């Protein structure tokens, strides 16, 4: 497997639940290193731009409202097969369908408030990391 980077967001619901550390611990135990991080209140424009691929979906407005409802924790993760590994740690989009022991099964309340975001491909990971972090703020480790 190749060394990859992926973009992760701890969403407003999980930040409000005070489980940032619990989620970071899962990344670290799985061999993913935090190589960039910041807490941030997304503007409407930033949230709309980030989820632009979903613009025509019926859930787009609710998704944007939720993502700007409070601060988020944004991080780039690095490790072997990081994109898929992070998606496995996250579990299914709908927490009711997420496997036991995944972040969404343990911390998410609904398909809308589902605790975390993770890039879904290596190509999108590069785009999403650059959306939040200038190259000088990502640290090779």
Binding residues for Mg ion, rule: CB under 5 A, are 120
* Residue 63 is a binding residue for ligand RTP (CB under 6 A): yes
Question: What's the CA gap between 44 and 60, in Å, rounded?
Answer: 12
* Residue (of 81, 85, 111) closest to 98 by Cα position: 111
Is 111 a binding residue for ligand RTP by CB under 6 A? The answer is yes
Per the listing, tokens 């409802």 go with 69
| Angle ∠(54,59,134) on CA atoms, nearest 5 | 40
Residue tagged active-site, from 68, 117, 125, 128: 117
Q: Which residues contact 61 (CB under 8 A, 6 or more apart)?
A: none
Could you tell me how many helices (H) and strands (E) the chain has, helices first? 7, 4
CB of 52 to ligand RTP, least distance (A): 12
- Pick what 26 binds: ligand RTP, Mg ion, none; C-beta below 5 to 8 Å, kind-dependent: none
Please report, in angstroms and rounded to a whole number, the separation of the first and last CA atoms in the chain.
Answer: 18
Q: Does 59 bind ligand RTP (CB under 6 A)?
A: yes
Determine which residue in the list 17, 22, 112, 138 makes contact with ligand RTP, applying CB under 6 A. Answer: 112
- For residue 93, state whether it binds ligand RTP (rule: CB under 6 A): yes
Which residues of the shown chain bind ligand RTP in the complex (CB under 6 A)? 54, 59, 63, 93, 111-112, 114, 117-118, 120
Q: Which residues are catalytic?
A: 117
């Amino acid at each position: 497997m190749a060394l990859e980077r992926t973009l992760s967001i701890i969403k407003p619901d999980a930040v409000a639940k005070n489980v940032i550390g619990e989620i970071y611990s899962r990344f670290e135990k799985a061999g993913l290193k935090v190589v960039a991080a910041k807490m941030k209140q997304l503007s409407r424009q930033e949230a709309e731009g980030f989820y632009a691929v979903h613009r025509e979906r019926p859930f787009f407005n609710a998704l944007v409202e939720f993502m700007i409802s409070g601060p988020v924790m944004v991080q780039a993760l690095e490790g072997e097969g990081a994109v898929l590994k992070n998606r496995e740690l996250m579990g299914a989009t709908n927490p009711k369908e997420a496997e036991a022991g995944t972040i969404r099964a343990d911390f998410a309340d609904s398909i809308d408030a589902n605790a975390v975001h993770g890039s879904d491909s290596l190509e999108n990971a590069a785009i999403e990391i650059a959306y939040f972090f200038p190259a000088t703020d990502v640290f090779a480790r």
